[in-house]
Amino acid sequence: MNAAPSSTYFSAPPDWGWLIASYFFLGGLAGGCYFFAALIDLFGRPEDRPLAHLGYYIALPCLIVSGMLLTLDLGRPLRFWHMLIESNTYRPMLKPWSPMSAGSWALLSFGAFTFLAFLAALAEEDRLAWAPRVRPPGLVGVLIAVIGGMLGVYVAGYTGVLLAVTNRPIWSDTPLLGMLFVVSAASISAAAMILLSHPSRATMPGLAALHRIDSWAVALELLVLIAVVISLGPVMRAWLNAWGLVLFVGVVVLGMLIPLALYWRRESLGDRTPTAAAALVLVGGFILRVVIVFSAEGV
């Protein structure tokens, strides 16, 4: 304790464990998939619209499970609404400077957009007769895509900023975790959409775009992760243990370098190459969040 590399070493761990690490992963997926779906809706080709539907179909269940994980993690789950409403005055509770407070509102509003976009996607595929077809290029549809997409990125990234706005070692010793989570949300979301897209859509131009996007996002994520390690300075020592090894092998090698190589050499595993790469990116993205959550808990 006497030679602590940072004043953050005198704080106590909050015991955020598997539920929170899983939420960081699913929240990133929900936000990222919605974001890419909105981009396809707003800028993409008409023939790629089924891919946008897929993004909305992934986002809603991920977000619902996210909410359940967060509620379960509370010491008093039935008081989850205290995040939104002041329990003794019944007035709205919002502290914009507290990422958890602002994030609670973002989750709530993103939930509404995710639900609307989910219904509209079903309606456009004629699977749900009564649902409103509020899809772009209609004005309401465009608004749902634009605002929801921005909220999606917020939900994907605020968790990293939340970790930075503490006094825990690693988390608050770098300002880059939010950026890392945004970029990583993009890589895992593109990977999830590649994995879950129907085999009959293998020739869709949007899918090829997703392959390119995922390789770009993974490369960017690797650069941001390197920047995180550098910005930690002397606190980097906290990763000179088993967690550092897991980070290097599980995230850098398995989740970034091998997928990059696979995307680069598209033919190496035949037709399954992008599928394999995407699966590895998802695994790496999950391990990344596990390492970031647990390695600071132990210090």
Partner 1 sequence: MPEPMGFYTDTTVCIGCKACEVACKEWNQLPSTNGGVNTLSGDSYDNTRRLDGTHWRHVKFVEQFPEDRKDGRWLLMSDVCKHCVQAACLEVCPTGAIIRTEFDTVVIQSDVCNGCRDCISACPFGVIEVNPVSNTAQKCTLCYDRMQGGMEPACSKACPTQSIQFGTISELRARAQKRVDQLHQIGEKRAYLYGADEKMLGGLNSFYLLVDKPEVYGLPPDPKLPTRNLRSGALFSIFGAILIGVIGILNFRNRGAGDRDETRP
Contacting partner 1 within 145-184 (CB under 8 A): 153, 157-158, 160-162, 164-168, 171-172, 175-183
CA distance 14 to 20: 11
- Output 130 or 203, the one with its CB closest to partner 1: 203
Minimum CB–partner distance for residue 1 and partner 1 (Å): 6
Residue 13 token pair: 């761990």
Does 137 sit behind a cis peptide bond, omega within 30 degrees of 0 on the bond before it? yes
Residue 139 token pair: 């004005």
Residue 11 token pair: 């704080």
Residue 177 token pair: 């975790």
Interacting residue with partner 1 among 207, 247, 262, 281 (CB under 8 A)? 207
Interface with partner 1, residue 277, by CB under 8 A: no
Phi, psi of 3 (to 5 degrees): -110, 45
Minimum CB–partner distance for residue 64 and partner 1 (Å): 19
Interface with partner 1, residue 100, by CB under 8 A: yes
Q: What burial class does residue 77 get, using C-beta atoms within 10 Å of its C-beta: 0-12 exposed, 13-18 middle, 19+ buried? A: exposed
Gyration radius of the chain over CA positions: 20
CA distance 84 to 75: 17
- Output 127 or 212, the one with its CB closest to partner 1: 212
Q: Count residues binding partner 1 (CB under 8 A).
A: 80
- Output 45 or 127, the one with its CB closest to partner 1: 45
- Output 16 or 57, the one with its CB closest to partner 1: 16
Minimum CB–partner distance for residue 129 and partner 1 (Å): 29
Minimum CB–partner distance for residue 42 and partner 1 (Å): 8
Interface with partner 1, residue 90, by CB under 8 A: no
Interacting residue with partner 1 among 98, 132, 268, 271 (CB under 8 A)? 98
Interacting residue with partner 1 among 22, 24, 33, 44 (CB under 8 A)? 44
Interacting residue with partner 1 among 217, 222, 282, 288 (CB under 8 A)? 217
Interface with partner 1, residue 62, by CB under 8 A: no
- Output 79 or 198, the one with its CB closest to partner 1: 79
Residue 155 token pair: 């939900």
CA distance 198 to 213: 19
Interacting residue with partner 1 among 72, 208, 253, 261 (CB under 8 A)? 208
**Between the CA of residue 15 and those of 12, 102, 230, what are the distances in Å?**
9, 21, 26
Tell which residue, 128, 155, 124, 127, has the closest CA to residue 137: 124
- Output 126 or 203, the one with its CB closest to partner 1: 203
Check residue 76 and report its DSSP letter.
Answer: S
- How many Cβ atoms are within 10 Å of 270's Cβ, its own excluded? 8
